[in-house]
Amino acid sequence: MPIQLFNTLKRIKEDFVPIDPERVRMYVCGPTVYDFAHIGNARPVVAFDILYRLLRETYGVDHVIYARNITDVDDKIIARAAESGEKIGDLTQRTELAFLDDMGSLGAMVPDIQPRATEHIAGMVTMIADLIKSGHAYVAEDHVLFNVSSYDDYGHLSGRNRDEMIAGARVEIAPYKQDPADFVLWKPSAEDQPGWDSPWGRGRPGWHIECSAMSEKHLGRTFDIHGGGQDLIFPHHENEVAQSTCAHGGETFVNYWLHNGYVMVEGEKMSKSLGNFYTVHDLLDEFPGEAIRLALLKTHYRKPLDFTKGGLQNAKMDLDKLYRALKETPAQSSAPSNKVMEALKDDLNTPLAMTYMFELAQGGGARDQLLASGKLLGILQHDPEDWFKGKASGDDGGLSDTDIDDLIEKRKQARVDKDFALSDSLRDELQNQGIILEDGAQGTTWRRS
């Protein structure tokens, strides 16, 4: 079965046919680096990581190029730095590292290319100049704007008509616009704002042009897959299509547009005032990264997801089951399960893939198949012993492994001495600390509950 993907451009699920199977190219909009990533930011990262893994499995690891940008010049960054007094460069660098660290904890592979906007300004200036030359952009009051009415297909990707676009909350009305739907390609920078020299004065790029210029530089004028959150379809992706297509004389920009669904948290829209604003950084203090990853994967990527702490606990228990199976069953085959592969090829059906994972775990005797399939899903990447000892979730400040081994040794001696009261009280003490003992033929093993 070929890989099938739901293409937002056509609103159908269709066979994925790459332009060049030797060089399959995917671009996903990356973070604007001014604050810790929240769980809504993590969803596209994990969803497109599954696609990246599937493409590598299908076309070979050397035949897939995944680019995800870093937006390190943006008004939100400028505002945050002004607020806190931190230097912009320090803020963006620190946030970029934290992002990579957090996404790594969620088992997301590092993309092949992570272009930073500030390192691609020249390409953006060239593209803007080309758009002006071809009549698709104009200069007004030190700004350069894209002329939406110059592109007949504007609105095709998002399926919006003109009125809906103008009513869209993100369309900014400004006096220098010829048309309210026109959007900024370049804007002037004040003395204390980051800026670059350009034919239109010292300024900085708009957000949309960043992705058009960086994807062209690294993936070419036409490439296979562009991904991002559903909230980016309009205006961001609509504008990327307009800019790239017009700058390239009408050449197709992207063949497959993929979008993940919205994230709710505890049944509501995530917001700091509701106290349900979950950063990945904070969640990692409480849960192993794989549990957070699985909680995201248990809902199909295109469906809305209600992310809850209860769901996270369930995901943790699911992983316990799978790791227990890994611990108990002997190694046999070494290929990922066909059923798991087929589920992923069907528009990344991760919930179905997980059903098959549990079948595998129950079947027994397929340890390597479970492991290989887990690798495709980016889970079960820890040693089962470490997982149950809680090492996968970092230091929780409780009993250390040595403390636990000590107490277990004491309990063993108490049992040899037939001091069952002491032995029982030691067991209780461990249990109170969340340590579960399992007495078996080979002695006592333990895990954190």
| Positions that interact with Zn ion (CB under 5 A) | 29, 211
Q: Choose between 211 and 379: whose C-beta lies nearer to Zn ion.
A: 211
Taking phi over 0 as left and psi of -120 to 50 as alpha, with beta for the rest, 434 belongs to: left
Shortest reach from residue 298's CB to Zn ion, in Å: 27
Q: In this structure, is the dihedral angle defined by the CA atoms of residues 219, 223, 227 and 233, taken in order, positive or negative?
A: positive
Element holding 11 (H helix, E strand): none
Shortest reach from residue 210's CB to Zn ion, in Å: 7
Question: Do residues 227 and 240 lie in contact, with contact meaning Cβ atoms separated by under 8 Å?
Answer: no
Shortest reach from residue 236's CB to Zn ion, in Å: 6
CA distance linking residue 13 with residue 126, whole number of Å: 36
Q: In this structure, is the dihedral angle defined by the CA atoms of residues 243, 247, 251 and 256, taken in order, positive or negative?
A: negative
**Which residue matches tokens 């500030």?**
118
Q: Choose between 5 and 211: whose C-beta lies nearer to Zn ion.
A: 211
Question: Do residues 280 and 39 lie in contact, with contact meaning Cβ atoms separated by under 8 Å?
Answer: yes
Shortest reach from residue 92's CB to Zn ion, in Å: 17
Query: Minimal CA–CA distance to 245: which of 153, 158, 183?
Result: 153
Shortest reach from residue 67's CB to Zn ion, in Å: 11
Shortest reach from residue 205's CB to Zn ion, in Å: 12
Q: Choose between 7 and 349: whose C-beta lies nearer to Zn ion.
A: 7
Shortest reach from residue 211's CB to Zn ion, in Å: 3
Q: Choose between 69 and 423: whose C-beta lies nearer to Zn ion.
A: 69
Shortest reach from residue 29's CB to Zn ion, in Å: 3
Q: Choose between 258 and 407: whose C-beta lies nearer to Zn ion.
A: 258
Burial of 281 (0-12, 13-18, 19+ CB in 10 A): middle
Which tokens hold the place of 15? 């066979």
Q: ∠ at Cα 57 (54, 60), nearest 5°?
A: 125
Q: In this structure, is the dihedral angle defined by the CA atoms of residues 16, 157, 298 and 45, taken in order, positive or negative?
A: positive
Q: ∠ at Cα 316 (310, 322), nearest 5°?
A: 140
Q: Choose between 187 and 389: whose C-beta lies nearer to Zn ion.
A: 187
Shortest reach from residue 200's CB to Zn ion, in Å: 22
Shortest reach from residue 215's CB to Zn ion, in Å: 8
Query: Minimal CA–CA distance to 432: which of 449, 444, 445?
Result: 449
Question: Do residues 146 and 182 lie in contact, with contact meaning Cβ atoms separated by under 8 Å?
Answer: yes
Distance of CA 249 to the CA centre of its chain: 32
φ, ψ of residue 173 to 5 degrees: the values are -85, 130
**Which residue matches tokens 């620190």?**
94
Q: Choose between 69 and 337: whose C-beta lies nearer to Zn ion.
A: 69
Q: Choose between 29 and 185: whose C-beta lies nearer to Zn ion.
A: 29
The CA-to-CA distance between both ends of the chain, in Å, stands at 41
Q: Choose between 65 and 354: whose C-beta lies nearer to Zn ion.
A: 65
Q: Choose between 171 and 211: whose C-beta lies nearer to Zn ion.
A: 211
